[in-house]
Structure 1
């Protein structure tokens, strides 16, 4: 291929892939640069893994075309290692299979070539490549070297929100597109099947579904988006588009320079199998969960109502499939507005929650592909492996411990009761702080077990960690410093991304999916956490205060009925600082280490209830209710682990529970209120609050249980002869009747009010009534006539 002069290019890596080529493997990176899109190829690469040097002769004898190289590296058993180079995926798969059969360990085989090339050079998201432009393709660059860079300014990205409308059988009606270009200029587009109608200049009318697909390809070629947003956009919209392209035998050329929309595994339409070169696809549901947003349900209607205060532009949201078909047949302009509105809602949800900056920050920190959710093990490998190699080691081929064998977080037995003035003190990033303080590290443990005792720090279950040779503590310290800087700069997405990554490090070491998993490592974190929490409790109680509960990194301190503290919040801050200082001194004197432990004041509950376990006098765990004074001077209720925060309880239970605690904490009557609600229930005046709403997490035929919502879905499928009522993700609404659960659409039996009293209201009332030393039966059931 003709070439131009040798030069350098810088940009943000959007997508990455490994392609087969005549001279080995070609690594392809689609970048966005200051001057626009650019495709970078790194030719002549191989799939790399490591084997013991003693096994090289046998491997090369069986695979003479495989390259190898002896390296100054060793495994965790101190065996000298060699690198093995395969020039095709087929060759590498055959090598893997043969090695397994002959019990030859193959180390780091899971690292893909396009990923290894970057992480060995500490490249996460932004890179500089050296090479030359292909003279016949000005947006194509051939690279021979690369390095990590910090771009002078953020790269402007073209972002589009996409939504597809279709019939119940999957026939396309329209595709909506909403977004902005790099200069902030708006994009509003709907490609709609049908004869042209006047009214909206942002609608492109096409003759049929085939022409819609052709027009969509043309739009992508012209506009060249970098980021695609959507709601179930991978599993529904892109999957459906791919199927319709295949039906009409039209190339699904939606990617960079006409690259095809493809799936790495046939008929598995999942984010991890999607391949769309040059376009990062971000699904709103996945990224809200990744950023730890929690909703009762993740429908676009529900989430947009919660976050934006508005919903879909359609009359019958619960039967939107039929409504969409009706609009397509009778009011295409209304359907176009609805289609565009769905795109806009997704765009605004991303803007409201800063999900795009969060995704970018996460990729910059971990080296994961921009747009990849989950993958905490891969993130750990990206961060850890280049440092491990420079220390002279390769990763283990398999985890030492098979399964999670370390204990979980510390949970103290609670002291149940009704309290005033509870302070909650939290250790800031406890597990990462333990890793930093006590030098917990995979390599550090391997080396520490070979060193003298005075050169190591004791862990648990026989672990010892080197005081001088370790990797993970420095990585955590670097992340912690970056988080503090993000907080100072009020960069919330970056701060949240760092927090999640730091807290995932323990989980990775405790997971059988990680080759570094060793019960000694994970236990040295969690068991040290137990000791820290227990010691903190003892130190606080030495000062005359009572610790009534502790959970993982949180300590609940009761100041006492006659504490004489004028400002509990100020006192809480001071107490946390004093305990942090005490830990700093203790760790310095006892271990000769610098403490990274920091106890922080979290909240002051003016009123607090720690309930008992049902049917027991023992205190509950991970369940409590408290009231904090807000800035407006009003009491705000905080429910933890209670029915109030669970989606499988009826609206009446949640409302009554909330009111009960409001009354309890404000010294208002509880008994009269409960009796009144029971009477209204029996009179049928609260029927609207008795409806359960549940989502099928799998297709109804895949359930083994006879749960109420499963029975209801089966009734709906049978009654309407419509399998869609039983599909995965379908929401069912039902009430409990004297003849069991019945869907609200088909209810014929009387509501079982006794069920709601016994199974819904009584359980949420009992914690309050036990404090008042009375019972539900004495207040309510004796006043009711039998139903």
Structure 2
């Protein structure tokens, strides 16, 4: 039954809809603040409206009287509650009818020196958080009149969907092509839609239509924007993906629409794309009702993928073994303009290929599934990347309220920083048969085993030492209904289930969330931050690592290094069965930890040491210009199903500020070291080739600007090269954050590759790129690098 507008019938028919929440917002409708959720159901998208959900904050009841007038002036009300703060004082709720009224109350409280609690949680989030609702929801209410073709539903209640609604979301990969000045040429669409390129031009301009996509021709840029708006209304995707899609594609669309005086109505129900902060075009400020936007770069980083470069060309080559449909990738701006003027079908093919590459990267890395699982686990909006503090709040807060507390205010418990992870002094050298033993999810396991919990800390400090669990820096934790250990237990169980089901995206999402919990407690940006919490995790980790080393050495093995949760054990050069020894060690250590936790504290141990890897050959270098062992730097070689694999940790091989020459030399040098092959002749041959100019192609450094050029004060080589590029070309792209700078070191210092005129400084590459690679290995082998180099240079 349809009920028109806000004119509700006296007895509307109550119904239930189940679906997946795409976007959340708090909007003004006819002067009233309402919650708006766009939900995809089996019957299509629905705009769900929830009324009568005020903005909420808490204060101590003793402060409520002072705030009574301010709240009344804002049109709100105050209500005493049975909840209490972490200071143990009773609190009252402050209800405000709108965002503006809420801000007014906050300002008045600040002026009065009154501390508010939970005043930064938006009502559209709180409505779901308090009901343990994340991605899939079941709303109870009744239908109202459609708006702009989208069904509307007035919800009175919501709960977590009892089962997966089994809804497939419709996704599209989008990519724009434009001139160097930002004028739009075309847009491509690929995915759960018919592949299409909309392009400025006329069919008669095409020499031959590309076989792999349709082209829709439009007369000019304004017509292109209008066609884009029409396409979104007709295709109606749930998810939009792309490469830098927010900061580039959607930002450019927004600016070009504004230039032509068009409302960029590409959201659901004809809603306009907007930005919560003017001129700040970032994912967190994007406002696109009813559609989720996923940026490929952001989500690969969120899933902990690592690449030397996150350019589409580089990532596609690494993951898919193919790249862009254009030959001049490094000069693609000029090439795109040439194709637009001379061969538009080829530009359409290139445009569509970029869309397809992004789509295939998402599919190959399971990023769609990863994003869904992350939202389902944390309660964060689908598409919101990062936000580990918000995720912690969503997970923790409803449990905290049900145990009678409100969250503390920001900065309520100042204190010293917590120590970092344990790092043992290493024993440098060249080894055979090194075992790596890792504690599985060490910090989450410590939290779970030792009952570390924000609420538990507050209660534990009121209990006797006999009734609580000791922490560090004066912390004690209550044994009664700890919240955080229970959350971790649930996540751990779900991860084991995901592993059994071969659900890699879910397993990865849970792992990342579990490992972020310590970081959140150690962050001053989290209201639950308390140095006693974070220190009780890290210092307990130090204790566990030191004791684990002692137990292993009591068993007759030498530990040469330890780092956070990993222990490196030397078995000796002639180890009989490394795998059997590794399994024996982890079983024994785990048994010892179970016994110790029960005997000392009557706690169940969830610490689990695992046998990670057997390195057949292993090299731990010294610190440069020192005999002391390095930390977080090593090279190891292991057998991977019959194939030799070399792992570099913290070495030049994995850093972006080293030349291709240095990386190649380092990899081959260690391969030869582990294989017992000649290294001196190899290095001599490369030095000879360097000074002959045969290796010039391997001397190019490639590094991105991490911020705008004007924000740099120091003159790092790539910054110097960027300034030369900007001054010489006048192209502002070289001054922007993210600009990829290619440069070589000449006798005049760093020069951009495009403008390099001075001779290359081969001595620089010898001393700053080759020697740091060779020195650690030669020193262990008692080879005098300087003597070898002196003889070699006489031959050049």
TM-score (norm 2): 0.96
The question of 1:658 aligning with 2:667 is answered: yes
Contact 1:52 1:79 in 2 (8 A): yes
In structure 2, the CA distance between the partners of 1:513 and 1:412, relative to structure 1 (3 Å rule), is same
Mapping for residues 12-23 of structure 1, pairs under 5 Å: 12-21=20-29
Contact 2:136 2:164 in 1 (8 A): no
2:116 counterpart (97, 106, 111): 106
Contact 1:24 1:46 in 2 (8 A): no
Contact 1:403 1:511 in 2 (8 A): no
In structure 2, the CA distance between the partners of 1:582 and 1:139, relative to structure 1 (3 Å rule), is same
The question of 1:124 aligning with 2:134 is answered: yes
SS in 1 for 2:289: coil
Instruction: Quote the residue 1:63 is aligned against.
Output: 71
Instruction: Quote the residue 1:677 is aligned against.
Output: 686
**Could you list the per-position Cα deviations for residues 531-589 of structure 1 after superposition, in whole angstroms to 9, with x for gaps in the alignment?**
000000000000000000000000000012344x2x21232122112211111111111
CA distance in 2, matches of 1:399, 1:150: 38
In structure 2, the CA distance between the partners of 1:100 and 1:218, relative to structure 1 (3 Å rule), is same
Contact 1:404 1:512 in 2 (8 A): no
CA distance in 2, matches of 1:166, 1:191: 12
CA distance in 2, matches of 1:116, 1:721: 49
Instruction: Quote the residue 2:443 is aligned against.
Output: 431
Instruction: Quote the residue 1:510 is aligned against.
Output: 522
Instruction: Quote the residue 2:179 is aligned against.
Output: 167
The question of 1:598 aligning with 2:608 is answered: yes
1:205 counterpart (208, 217, 220): 217
1:96 counterpart (103, 106, 120): 106
The question of 1:194 aligning with 2:194 is answered: no
CA displacement at 1:743 relative to structure 2: 2.2
CA distance in 2, matches of 1:131, 1:414: 64
SS in 1 for 2:751: strand
Instruction: Quote the residue 1:775 is aligned against.
Output: 784
Contact 1:176 1:190 in 2 (8 A): yes
SS in 1 for 2:755: coil
Contact 2:743 2:753 in 1 (8 A): yes
Listed as ranges, the gaps of 5+ residues in structure 2 are none
CA displacement at 1:410 relative to structure 2: 0.3
The question of 1:610 aligning with 2:620 is answered: yes
CA displacement at 1:404 relative to structure 2: 6.3
CA distance in 1, matches of 2:416, 2:341: 56
In structure 2, the CA distance between the partners of 1:400 and 1:562, relative to structure 1 (3 Å rule), is farther
CA distance in 1, matches of 2:449, 2:71: 47
Listed as ranges, the gaps of 5+ residues in structure 1 are 181-185
Instruction: Quote the residue 1:41 is aligned against.
Output: 49
Instruction: Quote the residue 1:709 is aligned against.
Output: 718
1:26 counterpart (26, 34, 44): 34
Instruction: Quote the residue 1:158 is aligned against.
Output: 170
Greater Cα shift, 684-693 or 478-487: 684-693
CA distance in 2, matches of 1:695, 1:62: 50
CA distance in 1, matches of 2:415, 2:151: 48
Contact 1:60 1:66 in 2 (8 A): no
Contact 2:78 2:93 in 1 (8 A): yes
In structure 2, the CA distance between the partners of 1:39 and 1:232, relative to structure 1 (3 Å rule), is same
CA displacement at 1:377 relative to structure 2: 0.4
**Could you list the per-position Cα deviations for residues 468-511 of structure 1 after superposition, in whole angstroms to 9, with x for gaps in the alignment?**
13100000000000000000000000000000000000000000
Instruction: Quote the residue 2:311 is aligned against.
Output: 299
The question of 1:550 aligning with 2:562 is answered: yes
CA distance in 2, matches of 1:402, 1:676: 59
Mapping for residues 325-404 of structure 1, pairs under 5 Å: 325-402=337-414
CA distance in 1, matches of 2:602, 2:17: 48
1:758 counterpart (744, 748, 767): 767
CA distance in 1, matches of 2:145, 2:712: 59
**Could you list the per-position Cα deviations for residues 211-246 of structure 1 after superposition, in whole angstroms to 9, with x for gaps in the alignment?**
111111111111110000000000110011111111
Greater Cα shift, 541-550 or 126-135: 126-135
1:413 counterpart (425, 437, 447): 425
Greater Cα shift, 596-605 or 402-411: 402-411
The question of 1:627 aligning with 2:637 is answered: yes
Contact 2:136 2:165 in 1 (8 A): no
In structure 2, the CA distance between the partners of 1:598 and 1:560, relative to structure 1 (3 Å rule), is same
CA displacement at 1:251 relative to structure 2: 1.4
TM-score (norm 1): 0.97
SS in 1 for 2:241: strand
Instruction: Quote the residue 2:651 is aligned against.
Output: 642
SS in 2 for 1:780: helix
Two-structure CA RMSD over aligned residues (Å): 1.4
Instruction: Quote the residue 1:183 is aligned against.
Output: none
Contact 2:416 2:531 in 1 (8 A): yes
CA distance in 1, matches of 2:735, 2:372: 38
CA displacement at 1:100 relative to structure 2: 1.0
